[in-house]
A and B are shown apart, each in its own frame.
Chain A
């Protein structure tokens, strides 16, 4: 089934109606249909939707054509005398049976696409996607690149969010680390979540799969062209719901191999960092970066939190008390609250740095430098 995506279509017409209504010229800023599909399944879905729209519009025109005729010809002012008929079993049966027949005709192709969509067997690459409040984690589990893991966080600068800088083309749809995959390979996605329900939604790849805490769901795609495909979390997940975009970068195979090699190298240097002893200033500097990415959404840049929702860290008992309590809080979080366990998300270096930062920022002036080894000792 490789029907081409048809370009002039019914929603376009309906859209034109809306546009004409508003006497605005149709320009490129008005997307009137699905994003351009990047997989075979996405194309099938595109065509199914078109086809269904055509059926609906036809029925719509028939029904309202009849009604409009009545409205014009059978109005009282046109001298209409009411007829007296008020039932007809034959016609009732007819207009029950015909819709059923239409529905059966529609159900068959949708079912075929659905079955194909759900068959995630024989994947070339398997990636586990974990939703966090409010970022995505990617773990390459199987296939080329297995072992790579990283976090992917909104990269739109704060100034643009605040409207203090002009907004770029991909405002709110940019992340620091793209999920990179090779073109024409079957990629299986396993979704799960660390806290609340999120949903991994990339329209051009025709995937929307909820990420359920404690459970694993799956979906797959095989991108048939290179490109960067953007999506967003689709399930309300708290205040940062609008700020956890997804960026999938589909590249040729050679480029993918190079990316894998580069990631491996990065991870190796990261492992070395864990063993070295850091200076206080270095830790604070790195810690501020970690804090800005991972903690600022709740505890705020000034460390004051949001009263009665997210506690202040500036002057907090934990951040000014014993180191061990602070390390434990960050490593294991507070179950049942929005404070997640960062142990599984961040490296020992990152955790050591962010704790050091919190203990030395704002009015907290402990002078403590926490080393990665201290964090490691608390992990079990």
Chain B
């Protein structure tokens, strides 16, 4: 994205880097690697998005239009895996790479080569997933949760998915180690933990979550692999195992995973809202504690994904209460953001629009989460489109909107140019409207009892499905505008100052725009 910047003679002299492909293959520069992560993420976002459009096209009306049911299941599975592991997680690692060193006054990430390696591992992992569509028997058609015994029945596409998960796991663990070390050891002198930017804080906590749970997921899929090929029976009752064991292990990973994808987003929003309110973040310390509480609680709620698997009523009650409790620190965050805006001097540039959109949609997702937390009610909604709507409100709205906010907020820093504010706003409104058109109606489908992951449906669900499909195509097409905005901004546009947002705070705004290839070689001192 950013090539060598003008006027950076002192830094250019220092690092003679290879050009062309070799530069990207061998780079250990945090900005290059951040750029790679972001482009990779966008590519996977398109791939996963096309899969979503295939799903929505199939569901546009009753009957089978496009694909056979087994293909449908495969596409559903890959859409989930690709969006979570290929699009969302790498996007935030990309932001972390670019911004954490800039924000904490470090010259680079702690482990340059490890950083390079954790990016390049993503390529074989994603290729395994995508090519599994074309092997005999096709990809795994089991949902991103990979539940056995169905996943035991699958063909070799399932093995490819398992290996892909292994590699993705290694990649994100390496990335997390790097982030933790960087944040803990490379901060500018005087930047105590409680002076750290929120983005660094949320990523620090996220990185610990990743290290805690990715190995658990890797273990679970390895057990699937041995059940499939080496005669073990971890998950087969006939051999003394239990399919529910897999669900416990999976969700012990899976629930913290949803906070892994959302916490860095919280961090971003905590920068954007104050910047455009021209007022410091309200309740910084309580934000830090709220983030930590969410992370800790996230280890105790996995059972709410299994309310219908059959668990003792005492277990259901425990998971219900624990889940409801998460609403408290989440609420604190929302209240703090609102208080930050209160009596500020607000302007509504694109990052701010996406940040407000984020809060609006995320709160809706949070509320449907509260409804789902009530075990008795969940039984009516589990595995229906209500759940689909819920997690798209938290994950798409939460992660994607915060990612868009981040891109628009930091794009001037990356490229040295301002993007088109007018087009940015159009992008926001299109995304906002089509997102709601796609997913709001899915609440009604779920309430009426439409199960998820079905390729064809009863006639009573037809109208809302048609609306949802139209919305999805609008949502997908709107993202081409985003691509256009970013590319034109890279190529040119009004020159961006070092600090293009008058209300923004933080060290990243003290280096030139575009940020020189090497920054903070002498660390700033924080008073």
Contact partners of B138 in chain A: CB under 8 A: 309
Within 8 A of B (CB), among A245-274: none
Check B279 against A31 for contact (C-beta < 8 Å): no
Binds B, one of A135-143, A201-209, A319-327, A348-356: A201-209
Given contacts A60-B363, A95-B335, contact A82 B150 (CB under 8 A): no
In this complex, the member of A42, A84, A208 whose beta carbon has the largest number of chain B beta carbons within 10 angstroms is A208
In this complex, the member of A77, A117, A203, A306 whose beta carbon has the largest number of chain B beta carbons within 10 angstroms is A203
A99 to B327, CA, bound (A): 8
**Min C-beta distance of B444 to chain A, whole Å:** 5
A367 to B449, CA, bound (A): 48
Q: Per a CB cutoff under 8 Å, which of B70, B331, B451 touches A239?
A: B70
Contact partners of B359 in chain A: CB under 8 A: 67
In this complex, the member of B141, B336, B377, B457 whose beta carbon has the largest number of chain A beta carbons within 10 angstroms is B377
A203 to B309, CA, bound (A): 17
The reply to whether the CB of A22 lies closer than 8 angstroms to some CB of chain B is: yes
Check B345 against A238 for contact (C-beta < 8 Å): no
A67 to B362, CA, bound (A): 15
Given contacts A75-B346, A106-B324, contact A238 B150 (CB under 8 A): yes
Q: Per a CB cutoff under 8 Å, which of A41, A56, A195, A201 touches B451?
A: A201
Check A234 against B343 for contact (C-beta < 8 Å): no
Given contacts A30-B463, A52-B377, A86-B284, contact A241 B324 (CB under 8 A): no
Q: Per a CB cutoff under 8 Å, which of B308, B345, B375, B503 touches A81?
A: B345
Check B309 against A212 for contact (C-beta < 8 Å): yes
Given contacts A172-B458, A212-B309, A237-B150, contact A111 B317 (CB under 8 A): yes
Q: Per a CB cutoff under 8 Å, which of A11, A91, A114, A337 touches B153?
A: A337
A339 to B208, CA, bound (A): 44
A64 to B325, CA, bound (A): 22
Given contacts A203-B449, A236-B73, contact A83 B279 (CB under 8 A): yes
Q: Per a CB cutoff under 8 Å, which of B308, B375, B459 touches A169?
A: B459
Check A208 against B379 for contact (C-beta < 8 Å): yes
**Min C-beta distance of B208 to chain A, whole Å:** 23
A99 to B68, CA, bound (A): 47
The reply to whether the CB of A29 lies closer than 8 angstroms to some CB of chain B is: yes
A32 to B347, CA, bound (A): 37
Contact partners of B460 in chain A: CB under 8 A: 29, 31
Check A74 against B342 for contact (C-beta < 8 Å): yes
Contact partners of A243 in chain B: CB under 8 A: 69, 456
Chain B residue at smallest Cβ distance from A297? B69
Within 8 A of A (CB), among B193-241: 236-238
Assign chain B's interface to a size class.
35 or more
Given contacts A30-B444, A74-B345, A213-B237, contact A236 B316 (CB under 8 A): no
Given contacts A197-B150, A217-B310, contact A70 B341 (CB under 8 A): yes
Contact partners of B334 in chain A: CB under 8 A: 63
Given contacts A92-B286, A167-B459, contact A110 B374 (CB under 8 A): yes
Contact partners of A20 in chain B: CB under 8 A: none
Please encode chain A, from 190 to 232, with 1 for each CB lying within 8 Å of some chain B CB and 0 for all others: 0000011101010100111110111101000000000000111
Check B69 against A239 for contact (C-beta < 8 Å): yes
Given contacts A77-B347, A213-B237, contact A18 B447 (CB under 8 A): no
The reply to whether the CB of A115 lies closer than 8 angstroms to some CB of chain B is: yes
Binds B, one of A43-51, A277-285, A288-296, A369-377: A43-51
The reply to whether the CB of A8 lies closer than 8 angstroms to some CB of chain B is: no
**Min C-beta distance of A288 to chain B, whole Å:** 23
Please encode chain B, from 269 to 286, with 1 for each CB lying within 8 Å of some chain A CB and 0 for all others: 000000001111111111
Contact partners of B325 in chain A: CB under 8 A: 100, 103
Given contacts A172-B458, A208-B308, contact A197 B243 (CB under 8 A): yes
In the complex, the number of residue pairs spanning A and B with C-beta atoms less than 8 Å apart equals 303
Check B370 against A56 for contact (C-beta < 8 Å): yes
Within 8 A of A (CB), among B434-455: 436-437, 440-441, 443-444, 447-449, 451-455
Interface size on A, residues (CB 8 A): 105
**Min C-beta distance of B88 to chain A, whole Å:** 22
Chain B residue at smallest Cβ distance from A71? B346
Check B310 against A32 for contact (C-beta < 8 Å): no
A230 to B464, CA, bound (A): 19
Q: Per a CB cutoff under 8 Å, which of B143, B277, B449 touches A35?
A: B449
Binds A, one of B44-52, B97-105, B380-388, B508-516: B380-388
Contact partners of A86 in chain B: CB under 8 A: 279-284, 340
Given contacts A236-B142, A307-B136, contact A82 B317 (CB under 8 A): no
Check B237 against A107 for contact (C-beta < 8 Å): no
Chain B residue at smallest Cβ distance from A171? B459
Check A241 against B153 for contact (C-beta < 8 Å): no
Contact partners of A82 in chain B: CB under 8 A: 277-279, 343-345, 503
The reply to whether the CB of A173 lies closer than 8 angstroms to some CB of chain B is: yes
Which B positions have Cβ atoms within 8 angstroms of A?
62-64, 68-70, 73, 136-138, 141-143, 147, 149-150, 152-153, 155, 236-238, 242-244, 277-286, 308-310, 313, 316-317, 320-321, 324-325, 327-328, 331-332, 334-336, 338-348, 356, 359-360, 363-364, 367, 370-371, 374-377, 379-380, 382-384, 436-437, 440-441, 443-444, 447-449, 451-460, 462-464, 467, 503
The 4 closest A-B pairs by CB, nearest first: A214-B237, A242-B454, A217-B310, A203-B449
Question: Can you list 13 pairs linking A and B with CB atoms under 8 Å apart?
Answer: A15-B444, A86-B282, A86-B340, A92-B286, A107-B324, A110-B374, A196-B150, A196-B153, A207-B379, A208-B379, A234-B308, A238-B73, A307-B136
